[in-house]
A and B are shown apart, each in its own frame.
Chain A
Amino acid sequence: MTTTEVSTSSNTKTPEIGRDRRRKEDQRLITGRTQWTDNITLPGMLHLAMVRSPFAHATITNIDTSAAKTATNVVTVVTGAELGEEQGSLPNAWPITPDQKAPAHPPVAIDRATFAGEIVAVVVARSAAEARDAAELVDVDYDELPAAVDLKEALAADADHGPLAHPDLGTNKSALWIFDSAEAGTGGDVDEAIDKARNGGIVIEREYRQQRLIPAFMEPRSVVVDPTGEQVTMWSATQVPHILRFLLAAVLGIPESKLRVIAPDVGGGFGGKLQTTPEEFIAMVLARRLTKPVKYTETRSESLMAAHHGRDQWQKLTLAADEAGNVTGLKVELTADLGSHVALIGGGVPVLGAFMYNSIYKFPAYQFNCQTVLTNKAWTDAYRGAGRPEATYAIERLMDELAAEVGVDPLVIRKQNWINADEFPFTSVAGLEYDSGDYDAATERAKEMLGYDDLRAEQKQRREAGDPVQLGIGVSTFTEMCGLAPSRVLGSLDYGAGGWEHASVRMLPTGKVELVTGVTAHGQGHHTAFSQIVADRLGVDFEDVEVLHGDTAIASKGMDTYGSRSLVVGGEAIIKATDKVIEKAKPIAAHLLEASVDDIEFEAGRFSVRGTDQGMAIGEIALAAFAAHDYPEGIEPNLNSEATYDPVNFNFPHGTHLCAVEVDTETGAIKMRKYVCCDDIGTIINPMIVAGQVHGGLVQGIAQALWEEAVYDDAGTLVSGSFVDYLLPTAADTISFETDHTTSPSLTNTLGTKGVGEAGTIASTPAVVNAVVDAIRHLGINDIQMPCTPERVWKAINGAGAGGAEPTVPDAAPHFDHDSNQGARQ
């Protein structure tokens, strides 16, 4: 990738949008001039260490803190009982049904520990090392209780047949949420479609496991609270400083005006840092109580066991189709593990998938049932994609199964069912209006990039030769809904907040521009991409734009970063704020140029009088407004603006991802040979940043397919509790990718952008598993449970079942003959 640095004269600026600008953020990050929360040190600062339950479920019968309290430099030791109501109960902002069961969630457990890793006491000392030493001296007596660990067993349990995660609830079921297209008026009756398909059509029934994953951002969570000013200031490694401030105020009864929350440099999030955490609440309560600054930084082991996890679902799926493979209905019965408590939006994450199981396809009937379940494991919440990767996995795996059943190429069955480019806007069976897309174009390009036909030929040849190393080609034609979200839609889903975003533009007298945005960055390159937008809109230099974010005292309004919303929602707020600045400058320009406002034109950073060569740069007007010596009556002397934008719709990036893997049938080892993708994310602001987002997303999705799983033992202890056991991929595990894009601009925002932060993760998991299954389908295998470890693959090949993935259809459909079927249907 190369950058062309074109010299810019005043009238011929190179457009910034679409340009591979190197990132403004990088200079600091590559030289170590960083502001991670854990770097912050304040005078007299105290350090917290958490005492955590080693048991998944236990009654706390006694806590003896006397030895810890008398240790050198220990200031205090507090328990949940002692904090009592002062610590509040952690918020659940998305109660998906009115009768959802959500047990109270004190940050420090009071009388019962509900997962291994839950905080039961907090030590405060003058140094982190002394706090940790003293934490070892806290003597907790537990009576162990039966733990609800396995999701299916937890679902089946009741008061008579436990174990129950919270015995007083009498059940582990939290909420049942249903969408039915017949009831919603968006489609037909799915049971009728399935019944019909059972008589002469095709019914595919599968159950897929979405294993539990850990977001595993590289920067462990850290929080510092300084209570010494008029406002209490919290620095936190969070994605959501604004939401955090609001909820600290609401839960702890502190006036919001007395709270300032700052997210300084934040080292990755992936949804894992959109939580409002026990540690943040504890730090706030103790700093105020002790009137001293406090800091808590988690260890990686604590992060893996106690920061929220993602996924953890069983998906029971019934797909109905006619004999030719035209899908007639899909029924989804989802069981989702919430862990010990309903996290901030944990209950709603599986529901986000409800609108995506139909994906890019034209289903006439659809039903989605989601049962959320409490267990004695770490809580679950958003992890990159949040509900949508699970949905995409299910439907993309099913489309491959349908193709195998019908005996056609997986791309053929997809094309037969997908929405054609001339059918947009298209209202889906889940009730969403897709504004744009071109699935054919992206697929054709991806096929070309992979060398699809050649690889199919090689696959055939290897099969016929009985090669011990078989080749598989995996397909994933995904879409997603992103840009969370129209506030009215969120309201209809009982989500506890709006989905708008805020921006303000401040023109400085020197002609420099401060853009304040309500979204926050933790690696996405907002500073660079937003500078490009502002530079184009206001006609100023890229270097002259400063982007401010992540501090509630600077960015007063914001809904923060998640759900691929920063550009598509936050970016539109920026457009509106820059438009307002231009409108505000026009009467000042008219006054100074002694012309009528109606005659003032704005182009490339310059206000001019129509039909003349008279004009002024926007920076000159900013200076004039600052000096305020000469400006029109009735106009405020400033060039600032604010805009709050509520999106009118989600938007729908899509793409075709193709993956080729080699499976060694003698060892079960999987080797990725090639991965290509052609994504359609509308208008691209910075192609270099976009490619980076896709690469990172791909590896996270591939890691779900092949490596990662948070494993608990029967007692509810996290076995994969360190990076030794939780298999984050390394450079040596991965390959380089080929990425490209097609462009169908979104019709719901000015620039035509679509979200990209989650696309790679959503698309890649099914592409990889489809490739693995495709490599060995001819051996009678139609599923491998994720992660597809060599052991699971080997066992499947050797007839020992698919590593516990049950029930799968015992007799896999015969492999189709590509040569005779390709393109035969449609």
Chain B
Amino acid sequence: MTKIELTVDGARVSDEVEPRMLLVQYLREKLGKTGTVVGCDTSNCGACTVHLDGRSVKSCNVLAVQADGAEVTTVEGLAQDGELHKVQEAFRECHGLQCGFCTPGMIMQTIDLLNENPDPTEDEVRHGLEGNLCRCTGYHNIVKSVLHAAGVES
């Protein structure tokens, strides 16, 4: 077991974890952060995407011990004082989700994408979301949501 200390959604947490424990397992099983989900076992689907020190990572592809000392933000830590993050709001407004399972990862990836490129073209959005799979929406309204959040109306 290895001791880790980190900040998750603004709260300081500390635990003894198995070295093999994945960050996503740590979030879900130890912290009850079940808003972040697991959709595959090959790092393809991106449903588990969170922010590690402000950059998006697939939390199934990071060990919990690698997050020692880091700041982690999940979909549960986005809304502030009851106010949705503009990307969350955009997904709601543009019907960018149906079953909602890929949504936490899509939202976290979108925020990272817009941090890097605040004014993306549709093509840049599509390539920026390439690592996140959705089976419900056909991506049409997800792309629209991202452009909406960026203030670009398609």
Q: Judging by beta carbons under 8 Å apart, are A696 and B97 in contact?
A: no
- CB < 8 Å neighbour of B101 from A30, A36, A736: A36
- CB < 8 Å neighbour of B36 from A32, A265, A693, A695: A32
From residue B140, how far is it (CB to closest CB) to chain A in Å? 4
Q: Judging by beta carbons under 8 Å apart, are B35 and A700 in contact?
A: no
From residue B52, how far is it (CB to closest CB) to chain A in Å? 17
The 0/1 profile, CB within 8 Å of B marked 1, for residues 711-748 of chain A is 00000000000111000111110101100000000000
Q: Judging by beta carbons under 8 Å apart, are B137 and A736 in contact?
A: no
From residue A271, how far is it (CB to closest CB) to chain B in Å? 12
Q: Judging by beta carbons under 8 Å apart, are A30 and B88 in contact?
A: yes
Distance, CA A375 to CA B40, complexed state (A): 27
Q: Tell me which residues across on chain A come within 8 A of B1, comparing CB atoms.
A: none
Q: Judging by beta carbons under 8 Å apart, are B41 and A301 in contact?
A: yes
- Residue in B76, B95, B129, B137 with the greatest tally of chain A CB atoms within 10 Å: B95
Confirm or deny: A31 has a beta carbon within 8 angstroms of a beta carbon on chain B. Answer: yes
Distance, CA A280 to CA B91, complexed state (A): 34
Total interface residues on B, CB under 8 Å, equals: 57
Give B94's nearest chain A residue, CB to CB.
A1
Q: Judging by beta carbons under 8 Å apart, are A695 and B91 in contact?
A: no
Q: Judging by beta carbons under 8 Å apart, are A722 and B40 in contact?
A: yes
Confirm or deny: A707 has a beta carbon within 8 angstroms of a beta carbon on chain B. Answer: no
Give A736's nearest chain B residue, CB to CB.
B140
Distance, CA A30 to CA B79, complexed state (A): 10
Q: Judging by beta carbons under 8 Å apart, are B42 and A30 in contact?
A: no
Q: Tell me which residues across on chain A come within 8 A of B76, comparing CB atoms.
A: 31-33
From residue B118, how far is it (CB to closest CB) to chain A in Å? 19
Distance, CA A730 to CA B37, complexed state (A): 19
Confirm or deny: B143 has a beta carbon within 8 angstroms of a beta carbon on chain A. Answer: yes
From residue A561, how far is it (CB to closest CB) to chain B in Å? 12
Give A216's nearest chain B residue, CB to CB.
B135
Confirm or deny: A267 has a beta carbon within 8 angstroms of a beta carbon on chain B. Answer: yes
Confirm or deny: B16 has a beta carbon within 8 angstroms of a beta carbon on chain A. Answer: no
Q: Tell me which residues across on chain A come within 8 A of B152, comparing CB atoms.
A: none
Q: Judging by beta carbons under 8 Å apart, are A695 and B133 in contact?
A: no
The 0/1 profile, CB within 8 Å of B marked 1, for residues 750-794 of chain A is 000000000010000000000000000000000000000000000
Q: Judging by beta carbons under 8 Å apart, are B88 and A218 in contact?
A: no
Confirm or deny: B74 has a beta carbon within 8 angstroms of a beta carbon on chain A. Answer: yes
From residue B12, how far is it (CB to closest CB) to chain A in Å? 20
From residue B107, how far is it (CB to closest CB) to chain A in Å? 6
From residue B94, how far is it (CB to closest CB) to chain A in Å? 8
Distance, CA A629 to CA B1, complexed state (A): 66
Q: Tell me which residues across on chain A come within 8 A of B102, comparing CB atoms.
A: 218
Known interface pairs A30-B75, A218-B45. Does A737 touch B140 (Cβ–Cβ under 8 Å)?
yes
Confirm or deny: A270 has a beta carbon within 8 angstroms of a beta carbon on chain B. Answer: yes
Known interface pairs A219-B37, A689-B95, A734-B126. Does A722 touch B44 (Cβ–Cβ under 8 Å)?
yes
Distance, CA A728 to CA B95, complexed state (A): 21
From residue A33, how far is it (CB to closest CB) to chain B in Å? 7
Q: Tell me which residues across on chain B come within 8 A of A32, comparing CB atoms.
A: 33-36, 74-76, 104
Q: Judging by beta carbons under 8 Å apart, are A699 and B100 in contact?
A: no
Q: Tell me which residues across on chain A come within 8 A of B99, comparing CB atoms.
A: 217-219, 265-268, 522-523
Known interface pairs A32-B35, A219-B101, A732-B127. Does A724 touch B136 (Cβ–Cβ under 8 Å)?
no
Q: Tell me which residues across on chain A come within 8 A of B111, comparing CB atoms.
A: none
Q: Judging by beta carbons under 8 Å apart, are B42 and A724 in contact?
A: yes
Q: Tell me which residues across on chain A come within 8 A of B139, comparing CB atoms.
A: 695, 699, 729-731, 734
Confirm or deny: B8 has a beta carbon within 8 angstroms of a beta carbon on chain A. Answer: no
- Residue in A26, A299, A689 with the greatest tally of chain B CB atoms within 10 Å: A26
From residue A707, how far is it (CB to closest CB) to chain B in Å? 12
- CB < 8 Å neighbour of B133 from A29, A36, A723: A723
Q: Judging by beta carbons under 8 Å apart, are B97 and A26 in contact?
A: yes
Distance, CA A466 to CA B53, complexed state (A): 54
- CB < 8 Å neighbour of A218 from B91, B134, B138, B141: B134
From residue A337, how far is it (CB to closest CB) to chain B in Å? 23
Which residues of B83-137 have CB atoms within 8 Å of chain A's CB atoms? 84, 88, 91-95, 97-104, 107, 122, 125-127, 129-137
Q: Judging by beta carbons under 8 Å apart, are B98 and A524 in contact?
A: yes
Q: Judging by beta carbons under 8 Å apart, are B138 and A697 in contact?
A: yes
Q: Tell me which residues across on chain B come within 8 A of A522, comparing CB atoms.
A: 99
Q: Judging by beta carbons under 8 Å apart, are A27 and B92 in contact?
A: yes
- Residue in A30, A38, A268 with the greatest tally of chain B CB atoms within 10 Å: A30
Q: Judging by beta carbons under 8 Å apart, are A39 and B79 in contact?
A: no
Distance, CA A27 to CA B74, complexed state (A): 16
Q: Judging by beta carbons under 8 Å apart, are B137 and A218 in contact?
A: no
Known interface pairs A34-B34, A696-B138. Does A219 touch B39 (Cβ–Cβ under 8 Å)?
yes
Confirm or deny: A692 has a beta carbon within 8 angstroms of a beta carbon on chain B. Answer: yes
Which residues of A58-108 have CB atoms within 8 Å of chain B's CB atoms? none
From residue B150, how far is it (CB to closest CB) to chain A in Å? 15
Q: Judging by beta carbons under 8 Å apart, are B39 and A29 in contact?
A: no
Confirm or deny: A684 has a beta carbon within 8 angstroms of a beta carbon on chain B. Answer: no
From residue B83, how far is it (CB to closest CB) to chain A in Å? 11
- CB < 8 Å neighbour of B78 from A25, A31, A33, A723: A31
Confirm or deny: A54 has a beta carbon within 8 angstroms of a beta carbon on chain B. Answer: no
Q: Judging by beta carbons under 8 Å apart, are B44 and A268 in contact?
A: no
Q: Tell me which residues across on chain A come within 8 A of B65, comparing CB atoms.
A: none
The 0/1 profile, CB within 8 Å of A marked 1, for residues 25-47 of chain B is 00010000111111111101101
Confirm or deny: A407 has a beta carbon within 8 angstroms of a beta carbon on chain B. Answer: no
Confirm or deny: B142 has a beta carbon within 8 angstroms of a beta carbon on chain A. Answer: yes
Q: Judging by beta carbons under 8 Å apart, are B35 and A736 in contact?
A: no
From residue A73, how far is it (CB to closest CB) to chain B in Å? 13
Distance, CA A23 to CA B2, complexed state (A): 43
From residue A71, how far is it (CB to closest CB) to chain B in Å? 15
Q: Judging by beta carbons under 8 Å apart, are A270 and B34 in contact?
A: no
- Residue in B47, B107, B126, B136 with the greatest tally of chain A CB atoms within 10 Å: B136
Q: Judging by beta carbons under 8 Å apart, are A731 and B126 in contact?
A: yes
Give A694's nearest chain B residue, CB to CB.
B138
The 0/1 profile, CB within 8 Å of B marked 1, for residues 15-47 of chain A is 000000011011111111110101100000000
16 contacts between A and B (CB under 8 A): A1-B95, A23-B95, A26-B97, A30-B88, A31-B84, A217-B99, A218-B101, A219-B101, A301-B41, A523-B100, A524-B98, A696-B98, A700-B138, A724-B42, A728-B133, A734-B126
Q: A31-B35, A265-B100 are in contact. List 15 more A-B contacts (CB 8 A).
A: A32-B76, A129-B18, A216-B135, A218-B134, A267-B101, A300-B41, A300-B45, A523-B136, A691-B95, A692-B140, A700-B138, A724-B42, A734-B126, A734-B139, A737-B138
Binding site for A on B (CB under 8 A): 18, 28, 33-42, 44-45, 47, 74-76, 78-79, 84, 88, 91-95, 97-104, 107, 122, 125-127, 129-144, 154
